[in-house]
Amino acid sequence: MFGTYILMMTTWHWCWCIIIVALNTSHGEKFTLGYLTGSQRRPGDLNYQKPGRVISGAISMAVDEVNEKLLGPMGHSLDFIVAETYGQEEVSIRQVAALWAANVSAFIGPQETCVHEGRMAAAFNLPMVSYYCRDVASSKKHVYATFARTRPSDIDISRSVVAVLTHFNFMHIAVVYLNAPNHDFSRLAFAIITAAKDKKISVRTVQVYRQPYYYGDIAENITRNPFHDIVRETYKDTRIYVSVGYYHDHIGLMQAMDAMKLLDTGEYAAIGVDVEKYEPEEAIKYLSGPLRKEPGPNVPKAFRSYLAVAPSPAPSYPAFAREVNRRLQMPPFNYTNPLLALGGEKVVSISYIFGFIKLGIITKVFASDMMNIRFK
């Protein structure tokens, strides 16, 4: 819902920047990007999802396209060096410093965190384009003068949620969010709470659950549904729940509301906030969850009282994802896909990837005398 619009606006913003700052260029320049990514786990870490193993093929794709269509004809070239962060902020900060010492022209990333890294980029007067981090603080342009993002920030997402609430005149809500190691939605939840209060929407209660819920009353379901207790304790205080977590968590909430017969009268509803792009080709999973092939008997009926706020995919996404998957197996990444022989592909989130497509735009900035210009 919010993803494609924000990314289109980002594209136009950068295009206008290029027109304004286009200056005379020197010839034969080689520009190097510092690519901050999390593709590995530290010893003992069994939870980190390693998103870099899914998305990194896009930077190879973008750099090749820029060299072929833009910089090559101008006598310039672009490459990148990879800096591993393990999804850890302190490592990410050290890598930003190391890349600066290596004389990179700009930073692409980082992933999970960008507050301190963005301040460092501003201090170094180098562009930093984040394709993943949603942190609210980095939206302050007077502080993060060289920082730009292609993924919607928590503020952007919260505005979309509040727009839905006000459209349906939902003025009293309960917020339920996931806060677990490597699954922390607290900043997004509190951005939604702040935006709701700014619009005079009453937040009756805020509830936290500590582990993702993998829907299904089957042996593989390793977690008990945490929403039964939450709904039982809060249903008298509110009729509208805002759930901030994964799509399979939202199924658990709807199950709990249905079990208490709250949905029978049409007086209760839920809004699920999903930061991952909606996948229409796998629509059934939003009702069945990751452990089932088909939804349970009561789930489709329960979801009549459910609305989702999620990024929407671009029409060209499938072809783009196939190319990214292909390049993941090529240098410098060489990530194998064990499902490829069976026709399986890694799922690449368009919210993460659009940033790389903007590399062609950013490179035009490098090709001009841009290092003395601060982005506002």
Contact predicate 235/253, CB 8 Å = no
Q: Are 149 and 130 in contact (CB under 8 A)?
A: yes
Burial of 149 (0-12, 13-18, 19+ CB in 10 A): buried
User: Contact 162/195 with Cβ under 8 angstroms?
Assistant: yes
- In 3D space, the residue among 187, 168, 169 whose CA is nearest the CA of residue 177 turns out to be 187
Beta strand 183-184 pairing with 128-130: unpaired
The CATH superfamily holding the domain 155-309 is Response regulator (3.40.50.2300)
The span from the CA of 124 to the CA of 114, in Å, is 15
For 3-152+315-367, the fitting CATH number among 3.40.250.10, 3.10.20.600, 3.30.70.1450, 3.40.50.2300 is 3.40.50.2300
Domain ranges of the chain: 3-152+315-367, 155-309
Q: How far apart are CA 352 and CA 267, in angstroms?
A: 37
Q: To the nearest 10°, the Cα dihedral for 330, 335, 338, 340?
A: -30
Q: Which helix (H) or strand (E) holds 95?
A: helix 89-101
**Structure-block tokens of residue 267:** 């007086």
Tens of pLDDT along the chain (376 residues) come to 333 333 333 333 433 343 233 333 556 788 999 999 999 999 998 888 898 898 888 889 888 988 898 888 888 899 999 999 999 999 999 999 999 999 999 999 998 889 999 999 999 999 998 887 877 666 677 889 999 887 778 888 999 999 999 999 999 999 999 999 878 999 999 999 999 999 999 999 999 999 999 876 555 555 689 999 999 999 999 999 999 999 999 999 999 999 999 999 999 999 999 988 888 888 999 999 888 888 988 999 999 999 999 987 777 777 887 888 889 889 999 888 655 544 555 555 533 443 443 444 444 444 443 344 333 3
Distance CA 162, CA 197 (A): 9
Asked if domains 3-152+315-367 and 155-309 share a fold, the reply is yes
CA dist., res. 352 & res. 56, Å (int): 10
pTM (2 decimals)? Answer: 0.68
Are the C-beta atoms of 37 and 96 separated by less than 8 Å?
no
